[in-house]
Structures are given as structure tokens and as C-alpha cells.
Amino acid sequence: MPDESVTVVVPVHNGERTIGDCIRSLLDLRPPPSGCEIVVVDNRSRDGTAEVVRRFPVRYLRQPRRGAAAARNMGVQEARGAYVAFTDADCLADRDWLDELRGGFTDESVACVGGAIVSPPAFSALERYMAQANPISQEKTIERDAVPHAITANAMFRRRVFDEVGLFDERFPMAGGEDVDLGWRIHGAGYRMKYVPGARVEHRHKSSARQLFRQHYRYGHAWTILLRKYPHLAGGRPRPLLGLYPDDLGNMRRVLSVLVTAVSRRRGSLESRFAFYDALRWMGQYAGQCAAAVLR
């Protein structure tokens, strides 16, 4: 493929409900003049994901090792393009997504470009909560964080950068943390990242309380691994007890206090539902931190 070509990598695990719509949006992209290929990496799906993917003219790969990092690494290793773009199986890409991302590579110092991750219209209480209380800000992670990284639901990398800084760290066993770690290594190698708001993907909300808990369990688990790998980022904080710092315990007490107050006063109200989701989110995060601390 030409030197400016792009490989789009989509990792998927049990994504039969969403992967078809994701692929349709990618096949409808305005293709770059240099060419584009779509690679879907199935990470141990047990549902009908394979049957859905095989209906489309895309490359289908199976990765038996657990984890989004392993799936993305297989995609990078199999990529034929000079650039590798990532999105998730529950995302829908705008038609100009690739053109916008590719336009962000204005000079050789730019190793990664990330775009906007937007929410679809919210209907349920949980969807409204996710849109208001737990938004995804790619602009923050790239432009405002002291050590930047790109969220791989919407990011493009120069393929050769992986040869220099390495692939995603497969010590992150679940989705979460591996993109942060890669971004920190890219930053440490002296490269820049750019945020391009015109490169948009729509990311579906979590649809159940269980999914919300599991998402933040992964985040807590990943953060503990990151602090173990980069201890200087703990900022001199004391060693955690079972993955929990003293201020974590204080935050948990405040969340539970708000939950009890909201439920006792207005049971079934939107306020009490949001308080419940707050508590569920933090309990998931702390459970993940504890698990990573114990199962090191």
C-alpha cells in the first residue's frame, strides 16, 4: 500500500450487537487517496461476533490472548498502512473521520492524533448520567494533561512509532490503561500529540448498572498497574492499603453519604439514581484497585 495509507483497527469482544453498525460507518468513510484497509480483531468473543463481521469486506483476525492490548497489538502487527487508526466496536465514525485525523499530522514530530468522542442522545437515566457526570474528554487527555495520552476509541498513530516505543503493554489484562501507558511512552520519546475536534466518533453509552461497574473496575485496576509501573506519579503519597489510599476512603464515605441521603429523601428520583450511579462507579473503581493490588 502507498506510504500515506491507513489501517483501521477495531478490537471487539462479544460485540455482536454493535460491531455491524461500526463496520458500516467505516465502510462509508470518505477514503483517503492513499487507500484504507479495515482490520477487525476478535478477542475471544463467545457470541455471534464472528458471523456478523464475516458479512463485510474487512479483514477478520482472531486473538486468543485476553485483553484489548493484545487485540490492538495484533492489529498493529498485521497493519499494511503507514498510519494505524483505532476505534471501538461500539463507536460510529463520521464520514470525514480519517481525513480529519490524517490532516493532524502536520510535521514529523506528531506521532499521534486524537479526535472528539461524542455521546448519542440520552434517553435512560443511566445514559443521561454518563453524558453529564462521566463525559469522555479527548481534548483534556491530549491538550491539558501534564503527561498526555490519546483514548484509542478515536486515535491515529504513525505505524513506525510502534517500532520505536513498543506496542501496547499486555500486562494490562482488560481494556483500560494500555492507551495511557502508550501515550506516556510516546511523550517520553519526545513526540507530540494533537487533538483534532473535527475527527468525530459517536460512542454508545453503557446500558446497564453492571456495565458501569465493570467499566470503572477496569479503570481502577489499570490505574493501580500504572502507578506500579510509574511510581513517581504517585506524588509521594503513602503506599496504598489493598489498593486504596487514605483519600480514596474519604471519597468513598462521601459518595455513600450522598447516596443514603438522596435515596432516603427522594426514592426513585433522578437525583437518587445519579447518586446510586456515583456510588457504583466509585465502588467499581476501588474494587479494581484492590484486585490489582492483591493479584499482582
Give the pLDDT confidence of 179-198 residue by residue, as tens digits.
999 999 999 999 999 999 99
State residue 247's pLDDT score. 59
Do both 188 and 262 map to the same domain?
no
**pLDDT average, residue stretch 24-53:** 91
Is the domain of 167 the same as that of 222?
A: no
pLDDT tens digit sequence for 123-165: 788 878 887 766 678 888 898 887 789 999 999 999 999 999 9
SS3 194: strand
Does residue 237 belong to any structural domain of this protein?
A: yes
* Same domain membership, residue 149 and residue 73: yes
**How many domains are there within the chain?**
2
Per-residue pLDDT band at 266 (split at 50, 70, 90): low
Do 135 and 100 fall within a single domain?
yes
Residue 212 has a pLDDT of 86
Considering the domain architecture, whether residues 223 and 253 belong to the same structural domain is answered as yes
**Are the C-beta atoms of 102 and 5 separated by less than 8 Å?**
no
* Same-domain pairing of 43 and 94: yes
Q: Are residues 156 and 213 in the same domain?
A: no
DSSP tag of 206: P
Q: Which of 51, 23, 28 minimizes the C-alpha distance to 38?
A: 23
- Three cell numbers, residue 220: 481502577
Output the nine-digit C-alpha cell for 270: 433522578
Determine the average pLDDT of the residues in 190-218: 88
Whether 147 maps to a domain, the answer reads yes
- All three cell numbers of 10, joined, read 477495531
Task: Give me the count of residues in the chain.
Answer: 296
CA–CA separation, 273 and 212 (whole Å): 13
- Residues 93, 240 within the same domain: no
Residue 130 within a domain: yes
Return the higher-pLDDT residue of 158 and 221.
158
What is the rounded distance in angstroms from the CA atom of residue 104 to the CA atom of residue 276?
A: 40
Higher pLDDT, 163 or 262: 163
Among residues 183, 203, 223, the one where a domain terminates is: 203
| The C-alpha cell that represents 294 in the structure block | 492483591
Set of cell numbers at residue 161: 512509532
Residue 1 included in any domain? no
Query: At which of 148, 182, 203 does a domain end?
Result: 203
Q: How far is CA 15 from CA 43, 44, 52, 189, 214, in A?
A: 10, 11, 9, 35, 16
Same domain? 213 vs 286 = yes
pLDDT above 70: percentage of residues in the chain: 85
Higher pLDDT, 256 or 263: 256
Give the mean pLDDT of the chain.
85
| Enclosing domain of residue 21 | 6-203
How far is CA 198 from each of CA 26, 100, 105, 139, rounded to the nearest angstrom? 16, 6, 14, 12
User: In this structure, are 116 and 258 located in the same domain?
Assistant: no
Mean pLDDT of 60-76: 95
Based on the domain organization, do 116 and 240 belong to the same domain?
no
pLDDT in the model for residue 128: 82
pLDDT band for position 254 (cuts 50, 70, 90): low
Q: pLDDT at residue 242 above 80?
A: no
Identify whether the C-beta of residue 202 lies closer than 8 Å to the C-beta of residue 91: yes
> What's the number of CA atoms in the CB half-sphere (13 Å) around residue 26?
29
Average pLDDT over residues 266-286: 76
Last residue of a domain, one of 203, 234, 250: 203
Instruction: Let me know the angle formed at the C-alpha of 45 by 137 and 296, rounded to the nearest 5 degrees.
Output: 65
- pLDDT, position 178: 92
Looking at residue 47, the DSSP 8-state letter turns out to be S
Does 150 or 272 have the greater pLDDT score? 150
Structural domain includes residue 250 = yes
Residue 12 confidence class, pLDDT cut points 50, 70, 90: very high
Q: Are residues 138 and 15 in the same domain?
A: yes
Q: Is residue 94 part of a domain?
A: yes
What CATH number corresponds to the domain at position 91? 3.90.550.10
